[in-house]
């Protein structure tokens, strides 16, 4: 049954007979790919526009309505050698993009104003020491005010808003002293200009905003980019469901277009993409992505099926339910909410710094005013000096100290295959001293692998692989893939729930349950060898073989555990799986601390216990059952193959088969935290030098401008060092852009995302 | 110093023109794909149009 593909959900109608679609494309990484794709697609009749976005790895397409099916674009791109899939911008991503543009607009306005105010300030500075007339100076000051005031009002919005939010919540963040400094500098300058004074600080105020906006834009751009990549990866999973559109008619529709109440068909070997309840059929399902349990669960009428479950043996009809209806989900959501509330108590390094910084600076300014009045200066003079202290201590360097390091470190992690969900995750990650791993799908790979391939003669293996192509069973699919079988055997018959058989050279060959192949005795003899594996038997006449199929450990898991220990980090396993399976994995990896059959609530209890004992716990997990503990841990990480809920809960997501990104992320974050602290000290050192000058009342606008830009640039340059994690053996690759991942793109092993393959789809592609 | 009457408005006008040009380029989506734009500059064939839907 070949279902039709329906992409109408993604197609936008532009009017005047034009249609538009956005595709996420895998593997576009150079100018060559760009023109190849654009030329290839433009050559199709009726295509009016094909434009690649190389930054986001996407293609925008427009065509005349009626003739073309969106599916044909995907086929065309597949011919060109690119995997593509339509996608819909998540609202979070659209918001990030809008924010990014807004910051760039602010930056443009601020930079324009800074340049023009500087152009007016430099004549004043040089005129003050030579022959400038007071009227000319006033004229230049008024012009500066005319430019700076509206520019600050516009470009300062991000800071004013954030400071206002913080104050309303009763806290202080770095933006509060920034806003106070900028506002006072402008206010004093206007008053001084009215009084025909020699000094005005318009240039200092607007320059400060420009520097801070540069830092903020880079930070935002990094986040936008990470979201775009995450959005692409999600789209390229191409999750679809076979929806009933008539009594017996189905259509393959994208998951985004499925609504509660729809009925979908779940064929054997398919991974369910929606939450729902089985209403017809009988099967076994693999719920390892939900519960961590690798044993199959029986499914029949009334069984809850969660997104991510793999259907094993028979076809099921599933009625889609709203997320809250499912009981397990409701329980997990409740635990998750509690965990989030506890999490929000963490205070970021920047906020801790500003909490110390703001009172000290404001007290210093106040003491300066009082001191000067006591020493006999006029109130006017004293207040001008006090404000000069605030201007020169305005935390420009401090405001840049942390976001710039975060940006650079996030870029470095991106190259190592780690996507950051939240900015402050870096500092929390750096503090980690205890890592809890989930087993299924985290320490192990999500795909099934044949573990005893070496024990089976190559000829038998190849034949078994060919036979396996005719079965929908996921275990058979794993055998077929391991044997890299391409051509199915002619006349193979699948017996549902039993196995497949075929005639080969006059001998009957069979593959399936041990009983189906007459290998029960052999299976019982080997049952205790590998408790985690699924056994599939193969017989050719009287020859019998057993394939042991299971989720293998990630290739570098052992090395990663060892290097975590080397860094003084304790490691343990908390798994929802059976004891025997967890014990086997733990002993291979040399982990003494492990627990099996753990519920989500138990996991949280364990994390809380460790927290009470003073550990900073990192949770690495992929299952839906891990989501609450991911939120409860100090910091959390998920593989890209994780359940949706877990992936959005985790602070970091890593790509690819190896587990190495976990260590790389810790190294990068430790280096980054070190640099953040260093930057804060640089900023403090700058203040120790500048404040006495300000207090003594000899600060001129020239000194303020030079000191502030000098310290900001110093901090930014120092942040660039976060590009190399220091302890990495790999030589550092120098790259022009912060976030450019072009270098890594040529390391395919690192970047091949572990997609949970939809076996039915692979079959469709083969046939 | 009468020359200031001409020079200052001229300087500010040029600056403002630059700002408006920047805002226009931002609005027309020229900052949406900085990596791609860097390569398009040295590509042999004619550049494609920016899609209208991206002109937010």
Distance CA A85, CA A234 (A): 10
Positions in chain A short of pLDDT 70: 1-4, 322-328, 342-346, 527-532, 725-767
Distance CA A122, CA A154 (A): 24
Residue A134: HSE in the Cβ half-sphere, 13 Å Cα cutoff: 7
- Whether A390 contacts A723, CB under 8 Å: no
For residue B54, the chain A residue with the least C-alpha distance is A60
Distance CA A741, CA A414 (A): 7
Rg (chain B; Cα; Å):
17
pLDDT at A2: 42
Query: Quick one: CA dihedral A606, A611, A614, A618, positive or negative?
Result: positive
A60 CB within 8 Å of a chain B CB:
yes
Distance CA A747, CA A85 (A): 23
Q: Looking up tokens 């339910």, which residue turns up? A: A321
Query: Which residues of chain B make contact with A107, given a CB cutoff of 8 A?
Result: none
For residue A50, the chain B residue with the least C-alpha distance is B48
DSSP H/E element including A21: strand A18-25
pLDDT at B20: 94
A95 CB within 8 Å of a chain B CB:
no
Distance CA A412, CA A410 (A): 5
DSSP assignment, residue B47? P
Distance CA A209, CA A391 (A): 12
- Find the CB nearest B12 among A31, A54, A116: A116
SS (H, E, C) A218-274: HHHHHHHHHHHHHHHHHHHCCCEEEEECCCCCEEEEEHHHCCCCCEEEECCCCECCC
Cα A692 versus chain centre, distance: 45
Mutate to test the interface with A, among B35, B45, B55 (most CBs of A within 10 A): B35
pLDDT at A725: 63
Per-residue pLDDT of A693-739, as tens digits, reads 888 888 888 888 888 888 888 888 888 888 876 544 443 333 333 23
Q: Is the ipTM of this complex over 0.90?
A: no
A116 CB within 8 Å of a chain B CB:
yes
- Find the CB nearest B18 among A38, A112, A119: A112
Q: How far is B35 from chain A (nearest CA, A)?
A: 5
B12 CB within 8 Å of a chain A CB:
yes
Give the phi and the psi of residue B29 in degrees, each rounded to 5: 80, 15
pLDDT at A350: 79
Distance CA A171, CA A18 (A): 51
Distance CA A591, CA A589 (A): 6
Distance CA A497, CA A281 (A): 13
Instruction: Check A104 against B26: CB less than 8 A apart.
Output: yes
B5 CB within 8 Å of a chain A CB:
no
Q: How far is A105 from chain B (nearest CA, A)?
A: 7
- Whether A568 contacts A430, CB under 8 Å: no
Q: And the tokens for A545?
A: 């073989």
- Find the CB nearest B35 among A51, A54, A109: A54
pLDDT at A104: 93
- Chain A from 553 to 572: CB within 8 A of any B CB: none
Distance CA A479, CA A720 (A): 48
Among A175, A424, A438, A651, which one carries the catalytic annotation?
A438
Instruction: Check A143 against B8: CB less than 8 A apart.
Output: yes
- Whether A401 contacts A683, CB under 8 Å: yes
pLDDT at A734: 30
Distance CA A725, CA A409 (A): 8
Residue A652 CB: number of other CB atoms within 10 A? 25
Q: How many CB pairs under 8 A join A and B?
A: 77
For residue A58, the chain B residue with the least C-alpha distance is B33
- Whether A625 contacts A576, CB under 8 Å: yes
Residue B8 has pLDDT above 60, yes or no: yes
B14 CB within 8 Å of a chain A CB:
no
Distance CA A290, CA A306 (A): 7
Q: Minimal CA–CA distance to A159: which of A138, A184, A137, A177?
A: A177
Residue A742 CB: number of other CB atoms within 10 A? 15
Give the phi and the psi of residue A267 in degrees, each rounded to 5: -85, 160
Q: Minimal CA–CA distance to A618: which of A594, A634, A640?
A: A634
A43 CB within 8 Å of a chain B CB:
no
Who contacts A720 (Cβ-Cβ below 8 Å, separation ≥6)?
A: A408
Q: Minimal CA–CA distance to A617: which of A634, A629, A603?
A: A634
A54 CB within 8 Å of a chain B CB:
yes
Residue A330: HSE in the Cβ half-sphere, 13 Å Cα cutoff: 7
B33 CB within 8 Å of a chain A CB:
yes
Q: Which residues pair with A570 in a beta bridge?
A: A434
DSSP assignment, residue A378? -
- Find the CB nearest B39 among A34, A50, A104: A34
Q: Which residues pair with A254 in a beta bridge?
A: A240
Per-residue pLDDT of A259-313, as tens digits, reads 888 888 888 878 888 888 888 888 888 888 887 777 788 888 888 888 888 888 7
Instruction: Check B40 against A31: CB less than 8 A apart.
Output: yes
Q: How far is A548 from chain B (nearest CA, A)?
A: 47
- Find the CB nearest B49 among A49, A53, A740: A49
B2 CB within 8 Å of a chain A CB:
no
- Whether A390 contacts A361, CB under 8 Å: yes
Instruction: Check A20 against B51: CB less than 8 A apart.
Output: yes
Relative to beta strand A316-320, strand A543-553 is: unpaired
- Find the CB nearest A55 among B34, B48, B52: B34
Instruction: Check B11 against A116: CB less than 8 A apart.
Output: yes
Q: How far is CA B48 from CA A39, A70, A129, in A?
A: 10, 20, 56
Q: Looking up tokens 């150079």, which residue turns up? A: A30
pLDDT at A532: 66
Mutate to test the interface with B, among A116, A117, A147, A217 (most CBs of B within 10 A): A116
Q: How far is B36 from chain A (nearest CA, A)?
A: 5
pLDDT at A345: 64
Query: Which residues of chain A make contact with B26, given a CB cutoff of 8 A?
Result: 101, 104-105, 108
Mutate to test the interface with B, among A30, A31, A136 (most CBs of B within 10 A): A31
Relative to beta strand A434-437, strand A84-86 is: unpaired
Instruction: Check A108 against B1: CB less than 8 A apart.
Output: no
B35 CB within 8 Å of a chain A CB:
yes
- Find the CB nearest B23 among A42, A62, A108: A108
Distance CA A646, CA A463 (A): 39
Distance CA A425, CA A652 (A): 8
Mutate to test the interface with B, among A60, A127, A737 (most CBs of B within 10 A): A60
Query: Which residues of chain B make contact with A737, given a CB cutoff of 8 A?
Result: 35
- Whether A683 contacts A398, CB under 8 Å: yes
pTM score of the predicted model: 0.78
Distance CA A33, CA A53 (A): 11
Distance CA A749, CA A594 (A): 30
Burial of residue A568, with CB atoms counted within 10 A of its CB: 0-12 exposed, 13-18 middle, 19 or more buried:
exposed
For residue B9, the chain A residue with the least C-alpha distance is A143
- Residue A170, phi-psi category: left (phi > 0), alpha (psi -120 to 50), beta (remainder): left
- Longest CA pairwise span in chain B (Å): 52
DSSP H/E element including B22: helix B3-27
A626 catalytic, yes or no?
A: no
Q: Which residues pair with A573 in a beta bridge?
A: A437, A594
pLDDT at A323: 55
A295 CB within 8 Å of a chain B CB:
no
């Amino acid at each position: 049954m070949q279902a039709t593909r329906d992409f109408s959900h993604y197609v936008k109608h532009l009017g005047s007979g034009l249609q538009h679609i956005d595709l996420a494309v895998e593997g576009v990484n150079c100018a060559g790919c760009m023109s190849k794709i654009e030329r290839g697609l433009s050559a199709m009749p009726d295509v009016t526009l094909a434009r690649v976005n190389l930054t986001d790895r996407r293609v925008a397409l427009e065509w005349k309505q009626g003739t073309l099916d969106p599916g044909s674009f995907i086929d065309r791109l597949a011919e060109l050698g690119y995997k593509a899939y339509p996608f819909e911008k998540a609202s979070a991503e659209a918001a990030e993009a809008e924010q990014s543009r807004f910051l760039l607009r602010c930056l443009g306005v601020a930079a324009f104003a800074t340049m023009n105010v500087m152009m007016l300030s430099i004549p004043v500075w040089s005129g003050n020491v030579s022959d400038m007339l007071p009227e000319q100076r006033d004229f230049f000051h008024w012009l500066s005010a005319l430019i700076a005031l509206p520019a600050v009002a516009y470009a300062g919005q991000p800071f004013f808003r954030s400071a206002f939010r913080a104050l309303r919540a009763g806290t202080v963040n770095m933006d509060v002293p920034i806003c106070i400094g900028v506002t006072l500098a402008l206010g004093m300058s206007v008053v001084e200009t009215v009084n025909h004074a020699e000094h005005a600080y318009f240039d200092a105020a607007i320059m400060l905003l420009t520097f801070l906006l540069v830092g903020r834009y880079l930070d935002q751009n990094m986040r936008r980019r990470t979201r775009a990549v995450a959005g692409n990866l999600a789209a390229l999973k191409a999750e679809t469901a076979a929806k009933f559109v008539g009594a017996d008619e189905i259509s393959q529709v994208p998951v985004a277009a499925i609504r509660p109440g729809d009925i979908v068909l779940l064929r054997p070997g398919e991974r369910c993409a929606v939450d729902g309840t089985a209403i017809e059929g009988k099967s076994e399902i693999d719920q390892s992505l939900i519960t961590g349990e690798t044993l199959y669960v029986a499914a029949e009428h009334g069984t809850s099926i969660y997104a991510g479950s793999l259907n094993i043996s028979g076809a099921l009809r599933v009625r889609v339910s709203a997320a809250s209806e499912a009981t397990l989900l409701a329980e997990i959501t409740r635990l998750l909410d509690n965990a989030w509330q506890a999490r929000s108590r963490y205070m970021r390094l920047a906020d801790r710094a500003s909490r110390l910084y703001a009172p000290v600076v404001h007290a210093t300014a106040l003491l300066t005013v009082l001191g000067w009045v006591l020493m006999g200066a006029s109130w006017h003079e004293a207040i001008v000096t006090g404000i000069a202290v605030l201007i020169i201590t305005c935390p420009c360097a401090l405001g840049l100290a942390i976001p710039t390091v975060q940006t650079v470190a996030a870029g470095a992690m991106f190259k190592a295959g780690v996507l950051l969900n939240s900015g402050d995750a870096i500092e929390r990650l750096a503090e980690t001293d205890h890592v809890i791993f989930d087993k299924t799908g985290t320490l192990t790979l999500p795909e099934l692998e044949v573990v005893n391939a070496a024990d089976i003669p190559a000829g038998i293996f190849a034949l078994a692989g060919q036979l396996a192509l005719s079965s929908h069973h996921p275990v058979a699919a794993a055998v077929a893939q391991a044997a890299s079988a391409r051509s199915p055997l002619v006349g193979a018959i699948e017996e549902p729930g039993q196995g497949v058989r075929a005639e080969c050279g006059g001998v009957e060959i069979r593959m399936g349950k041990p009983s189906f192949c007459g290998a029960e005795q052999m299976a019982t003899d080997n049952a205790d060898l590998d408790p985690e594996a699924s056994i599939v038997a193969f017989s050719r006449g009287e020859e019998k073989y057993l394939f042991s199929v299971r989720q293998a450990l990630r290739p570098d898991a052992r090395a990663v555990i060892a290097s975590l220990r080397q860094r003084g980090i304790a490691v343990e396993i908390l798994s929802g799986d059976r004891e025997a399976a967890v014990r086997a994995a733990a002993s291979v990896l040399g982990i003494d601390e492990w627990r099996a059959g753990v519920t989500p609530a138990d996991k949280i209890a364990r994390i809380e216990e460790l927290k009470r004992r003073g550990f900073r716990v990192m949770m690495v997990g992929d299952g839906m059952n891990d989501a609450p503990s991911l939120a409860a841990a100090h910091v959390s990480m998920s593989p890209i193959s994780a359940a949706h809920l877990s992936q959005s809960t985790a602070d970091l997501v890593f790509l690819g088969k190896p587990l190495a990104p976990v260590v790389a992320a810790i190294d990068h974050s430790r280096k980054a935290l070190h640099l953040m602290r260093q930057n804060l000290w640089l900023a403090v050192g700058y203040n120790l030098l500048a404040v006495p000058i300000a207090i003594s009342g000899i600060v001129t606008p020239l000194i303020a401008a030079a000191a502030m830009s000098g310290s900001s640039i110093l901090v930014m340059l120092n942040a660039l060092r976060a590009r190399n994690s220091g302890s990495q053996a790999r030589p550092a690759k120098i790259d022009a852009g912060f976030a450019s991942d072009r270098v890594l793109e040529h390391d395919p092993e690192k970047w091949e995302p572990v997609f949970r393959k939809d076996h039915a789809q692979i079959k469709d592609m083969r046939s | 110093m009468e020359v200031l009457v001409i020079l200052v408005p001229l300087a500010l006008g040029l600056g403002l023109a630059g700002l408006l040009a920047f805002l226009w380029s931002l609005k027309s989506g020229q900052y949406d794909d900085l990596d791609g734009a860097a390569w398009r500059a040295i590509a042999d064939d004619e550049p494609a149009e920016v899609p209208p839907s991206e002109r937010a």
